Amino acid sequence: MKGGECEGKVHDKRAVVVLTGPWCGAGGHFRYATMFWKRTSDLSSNTIEVTIESAWRRDYSSTYFTAALGSSGESLMKINGKQTPKIDFGDGTAAKYLEAVRITAYSEQENWFLGEETFTHTFDTPNNAGHPWKVSFTGCCRMRNLLQDQADKPWDMTTLVDLVEADTSPRIVSLPVIHVRKVTTTNANQNSTFRLHTSELDPSITWSLGHAAAGQYIHRDGTVELDTQAADILDCTPANGIAVCAVNVMAYAHFGKSLSIPVDLVVMMIPDPYPAFIDFPPRQVCVQCVEYTHTSNLYIYST
């Protein structure tokens, strides 16, 4: 795949649609991120391991955006950007950077790769004078074709850590790009919906949106509704004759008394009814890829 190209066919249980050109949104290379953490086995210290799971545009090219093999043969990526992605622990110590992101999945069709890197950090105290530590992940830039004034914008997400209150956080699980129907009816009960999840089936976890956006709503159980009749979602840039809307959704999963973890992802809204395409291969996502390169053709098919 050459830089700037983004052609592919997506087939999952909800949609069959050709996605080309404007869908992939050249420009910013950030697609998705979430954060989760746990206390290390030394309970006498205030040391945590924070993992950043993130997804990026595969065809992005830069001197410092490079792939390498780790000592165990795993594929690692060094990530940079217009504003270098960094993690700040909120206690005055030096920020850390994505220097060795281990590739866990990728999609040539959808032009992204997914990886994770874990950072170990020790706080002086279990919390910040009775308040949670605010660990942030920031950088720039988002996709260029996002609606709702998010195109090419920086991201800023935070997880709250209090080792008096909890020793570990939940983990949000999601693909970097979610596909939903772009409902065209004006019936308020027919909004486009999907649901966010954590790996823990904990009914006490509740959800909220990370930033306000017209036509975006979230229920306490993680169900997200997108009102496609909202003015800044209604008109979409055509892609191959099909109106495909790309929006950013940022949300927080709340747990314990005052703690939370973030997720920031892309939602593709496909027209309803879907075009009548046939004979497309399954949605292609390579999971646990060891020999990742920008030109690799290794696939694992999932439906």
Least confident piece of the model among 21-25, 69-73, 213-217: 21-25
Buried b (16+ CB within 10 A) or exposed e, 146-179: bbbebbbbbbebbbbbbbeebeebbbbebbbbbb
Strands 155-161, 223-226: pairing is: unpaired
For 231, phi then psi, to 5°, come to: -55, -40
Chain position carrying tokens 């983004």: 6
Per-residue pLDDT, averaged over 90-104, amounts to: 95
Contact indicator for 170, 263 with CB cutoff of 8 Å = no
**Measured distance CA(197)–CA(155) in Å, rounded:** 21
pLDDT at residue 282 in the model: 45
Domain limits of the chain?
A: 12-287
154-209 tens-digit pLDDT: 999 999 999 999 999 999 999 898 988 776 665 555 788 899 999 988 999 999 99
Q: How many angstroms from the chain centroid is the CA of residue 183?
A: 23
pLDDT value at residue 80: 78
Average pLDDT, whole number, for the chain?
77
Give me the mean pLDDT over the 41-61 stretch: 89
What are 130's two structure tokens? Answer: 């009775």
Q: What is the pLDDT of residue 181?
A: 78
The reported pLDDT for the residue numbered 76 is 82
**pTM assigned to the model:** 0.79
Q: Return phi, psi of residue 21, to 5°.
A: 50, -110
296 strand-pairing partners: none
8 Å CB contact between 132 and 258: yes
Write down the pLDDT at residue 15. Answer: 27
From the list 259, 294, 303, 241, the residue with the least C-alpha distance to 5 is 294
Q: In this predicted structure, what is the pLDDT of residue 7?
A: 30
- pLDDT for 5: 33
Could you tell me the CATH superfamily of domain 12-287? Cadherins (2.60.40.60)
Name residues whose C-beta falls within 8 Å of residue 199's C-beta, 6 or more positions apart in sequence: 170, 171, 172, 173
Q: How far is CA 11 from CA 57, 108, 301, in A?
A: 20, 14, 10
In this prediction, residues 130-150 reach a mean pLDDT of 92
